Amino acid sequence: PSHGSLKHGKRLPSTGPNFRVYSRLGAALGRNSVHTKVRAVVLEAYAVAGRQVPTARFVYGETGWPFGGKFWPHRTHQNGLSIDFMVPVRTRSGEPAELPTWPWQKFGYAVEFDSKGRSQDLEIDYPAMVAHLSALRTAAHRQGLRIDRVIFAPELRNRLGHTPGGAAILNQVTFSRARPWVRHDEHYHVDFATGARAAGR
């Protein structure tokens, strides 16, 4: 992920029944390109999560270039196996919502959540996040991949673990314990892995 390249990367769709890209400009520039198998995983997972949490709306963030390589300002995202997923959100009253991704908010990356997962009138939809991560894990195995690691703010990860099904996800998926160079509160970064180890956890 940090020193990689990619050949013939495929772009993710800008929109779907329950998801959209963080920025149409970013998509037009090709900043939503991934490995072919990762593309299949993402689309299958959104379809499964849509059946489990039909009112949830998902937004994905940056992925990488079609040819891989350095992807400023990210330190990884170089081999088509990394993707940022913006946290699913609801209003404080429980209504479905989407993380705002206006340019002046750095396309969503400047939205700040407190230690309880709240940002103004929005709060993280942890059940939707659990459903999404579970669907990603299952879809990855179908494609011969695995989730290598997830980077998410530690205090919010703990709250995820107290959500129904969250404890199982924390046991099934490796969350990075290292302190990230940025907080990762408005999105969770996922690295996939290929090869023989993909049949593992």
pLDDT tens across the length of the chain (201 residues): 777 778 888 999 999 999 999 999 998 998 999 999 999 999 999 999 999 999 999 999 999 888 875 777 777 777 889 999 999 999 999 999 999 998 888 877 889 999 899 999 999 999 999 999 999 999 999 999 999 999 999 999 999 999 999 999 999 999 987 666 666 888 999 999 986 554 333
- Cβ count within 10 A of residue 116: 11
Instruction: Tell me how far the alpha carbon of residue 67 is from its chain's centroid.
Output: 21
List C-alpha distances in Å: 141 to 29, 45, 177, 195.
30, 11, 23, 11
For residue 100, report the phi and psi dihedrals to the nearest 5 degrees.
Answer: -70, 135
Confirm if 2 and 78 have CB atoms less than 8 A apart: yes
Q: So what's the pLDDT on residue 4?
A: 78
Pairing type for strands 19-21 and 58-60 reads: parallel
Omega of the bond prior to 13 within 30 degrees of 0, cis?
Answer: no
Q: So what's the pLDDT on residue 69?
A: 58
Whole-number Å distance between alpha carbons of 186 and 86: 6
Q: So what's the pLDDT on residue 179?
A: 67
Whole-number Å distance between alpha carbons of 181 and 16: 31
Task: Round the CA-based radius of gyration of the chain to a whole number and report it.
Answer: 15
Beta partners for residue 83, in sequence order: 190
Helix spans in 33-73 (H): 36-52
Structure tokens at 77: 């995202």
